[in-house]
Structure 1
């Protein structure tokens, strides 16, 4: 199949007053805002791939997360430009913890940092600027002339991190897709992916694209083309210590050099098309049925008790306030929506999963899928962690319950776990013992992905 491509990079690093807020996302507990310091610039990059049947668009962004309403605001503007097919538009965020906070719902800036109403309003202003820039970037890239290319896929390996959740899997695979100009076989662009939390810089007030940005610079400088990084199933993948500014360069250089070596060596597999896309959404149930009035009463009583158990400057206190506001208002959320998406490029499957998926999903889906499978995480929207059944069963006995979302009570959010910062009332549904049963989080996701990959 004949392919053509266009690629465009935007430096969107926020500055005041264009961006009303410079509050940062990624670390909870105390207010954290940028004051003008920048280490590595924050990029948004758009790639258009056309197989002759119309354009497909990938938008990747150096930001920690985007909530559902931001995702759908961008998607609603872009999908009419790509054949009104949701499958033809894909967003991936790098998850750098050294970028701006986007959105005011999940994570919740009041729960995370105790911000005032005025500060939260400023974040909403920054979110509007951000959305408009992302939509404009896609429009501009779609308007560019497209270069005829051939596509090639290859996998490599390197190690820059470890599994922080006491799980056995440390992901080391580098997935890479390169485009070469049909006219002279010269390199046109490099897309590469790896799974690791971009927190190698640590918690400070400096804007930085973290190791993905450093790796992208290494690849672009060595090969003279635009390079794009895509995050993987990194929910439990932590970069190696120490977490400090110099580690951004160290780990990024290791990853970037590995990609350059892959490009400069043989063994690439031709990707010939045709290209098909699919988009679907799951509703992941919580561990307790909050459609049951008795369960809501128990939640109300439990969160009221937390107001007595925690000081009012603690994020668990603020989370309890928020849950009680929901109970007395529109009600508690009952499910976590989860977009999943597949791009099939004639032998290469790209499977994009929303939220902070853990490595277990990568391992299980790779084991049961023949051929080349590139799994991307943090796709389209990110509103929480999605663990496998074993981690969900373990609660606080595994990494303090952070990825499980609960500590001593599996029917409510664990203080200091992801469900607190992302403002959920309870963790995801799991099978209390043994393997994941039908209707549990893990089974719903694995079955849905398997069905989509078989389309």
Structure 2
């Protein structure tokens, strides 16, 4: 177990632009509430390393994820399926990467600032890769693992008051063979937006919770984010709320460690990483569909003001259509780690709570559903949310509104993440084959049942 500070400070970091909110520039000026960390935990199983790397970042874009995994695999440090990369999704951290979210569309950054963002991105990335190298070289400690769940009420469902609220707090404890606590991995499913949109770097409520656990037991504590695409931190969003929610979560982890009903977690550990393609509601492989889509975005270019993010998005979409580079689907990695007594299912992107609820209901045994795993380039909503469009939370998580499910919705995730259309859904209540929820659920259940 090892960690490194990844809080950007200028110099040497060229960019202090921050991620998490649109639609204008937001940057840090040196204020830091809590430093940002990357932490690495290596579980050696029959002399084979399983590597978990988590970081206080808003998200990891696909190209960065592939660069990190590719480097570690090429160096022979870890097998492709045995490396799991996780972001906490703090909204008080640096803008990371120049693709999705798109810095120009989301914050109107020019090329010089985007270049600076990339400079900071690769400094952080290099530090995380080196962290894995260093952790793999550490002396090994024999440990036993055990799992339990607590409950902490730190958020609500922002999409619908009748939808699920995920209050479960998964806790994985690692104890030395001598019986001493060695490390703790814990989780929650709640957007780290409790601080609000200011210009201060902060690991947010997960960092508060981790610090509380570390102070109580004197061991490292690693936070893992859940399927929180529709889970919002309690109001009001202010620094005091961050302290409060972090204390609630941290104290629950302390309570579970002090008296929870833990079940044994054993080896061997098997890992499997697959990838599915999520289609759009509009078939961007169809020339007529692309022409219709281009006409809609061309109209937005004409009617939107120069400073409007929707105009910037429309300009990008027209450019991609004209160059033949318009995406045809959203790739989604899905990662399973199976222990004796515990299965971890780590979903890429920003999955909504329905996936946690449905997967846990369909699985017989302890299942930990993680989000923001390996890469994050958009929201993955369930079919009910997708087909509701602007009728739920303005269509933000669905990706469409204004009665047009074929084009990116105003103010929705498809704008900031720079996609041409919302993900495919069924008009009826039952997800049909080839639609988003069905593809994701079938893939997940396939992994869980093999």
- TM-score normalised over the length of structure 2: 0.98
CA gap 1:253/1:73 in 2 versus in 1, 3 angstroms? same
Is 1:263 aligned to 2:265, yes or no?
no
Counterpart for residue 406 of structure 2: 411
CA distance in 2 between partners of 1:171 and 1:266 (Å):
19
2:49·2:78 contact (CA, 8 Å) conserved in 1? no
Counterpart for residue 297 of structure 1: 291
Shift of 1:18: 1.3
1:82·1:88 contact (CA, 8 Å) conserved in 2? no
Is 1:392 aligned to 2:392, yes or no?
no
SS of residue in 2 equivalent to 1:336 = strand
CA distance in 2 between partners of 1:309 and 1:256 (Å):
49
CA distance in 1 between partners of 2:102 and 2:266 (Å):
44
Counterpart for residue 175 of structure 1: 170
SS of residue in 2 equivalent to 1:122 = helix
SS of residue in 2 equivalent to 1:424 = coil
2:228·2:353 contact (CA, 8 Å) conserved in 1? yes
CA distance in 1 between partners of 2:395 and 2:263 (Å):
42
CA distance in 1 between partners of 2:216 and 2:315 (Å):
52
Counterpart for residue 435 of structure 1: 430
CA distance in 2 between partners of 1:291 and 1:80 (Å):
34
Shift of 1:171: 0.2
Shift of 1:81: 5.3
Deviation per residue, 1:327-351 (Å, 9 max, x gap): 1224210100000000001120000
Shift of 1:83: 6.5
Deviation per residue, 1:37-80 (Å, 9 max, x gap): 00011010000001224000000000101100000000001124
Counterpart for residue 156 of structure 1: 150
CA distance in 2 between partners of 1:161 and 1:309 (Å):
38
CA distance in 2 between partners of 1:384 and 1:338 (Å):
10
CA gap 1:13/1:83 in 2 versus in 1, 3 angstroms? closer
Give the one of 31, 35, 40 matched to 1:46.
40
Q: What pairs up with 1:237-256 in 2 under 5 angstroms?
A: 237-256=231-250
2:50·2:78 contact (CA, 8 Å) conserved in 1? no
Shift of 1:308: 2.2
2:51·2:78 contact (CA, 8 Å) conserved in 1? no
2:171·2:184 contact (CA, 8 Å) conserved in 1? yes
Counterpart for residue 207 of structure 1: 201
Counterpart for residue 112 of structure 2: 118
Structure 1 runs, 4 residues or longer, greater than 6 Å off = none
Q: What pairs up with 1:15-414 in 2 under 5 angstroms?
A: 15-80=9-74, 85-166=79-160, 167-182=162-177, 184-408=178-402, 409-414=404-409
CA distance in 2 between partners of 1:250 and 1:172 (Å):
16
SS of residue in 2 equivalent to 1:273 = strand
Which is worse superposed, 225-234 or 325-334?
Answer: 325-334
SS of residue in 2 equivalent to 1:272 = strand
CA distance in 2 between partners of 1:380 and 1:118 (Å):
28
CA distance in 2 between partners of 1:29 and 1:274 (Å):
47
Deviation per residue, 1:10-48 (Å, 9 max, x gap): 111111121111110000011001110000110100000
SS of residue in 1 equivalent to 2:289 = helix
Q: What pairs up with 1:435-454 in 2 under 5 angstroms?
A: 435-454=430-449
1:79·1:88 contact (CA, 8 Å) conserved in 2? no
SS of residue in 2 equivalent to 1:312 = coil
Where does the alignment leave 5 or more consecutive residues of structure 1 unmatched? 1-6
2:282·2:289 contact (CA, 8 Å) conserved in 1? yes
CA distance in 2 between partners of 1:94 and 1:82 (Å):
27
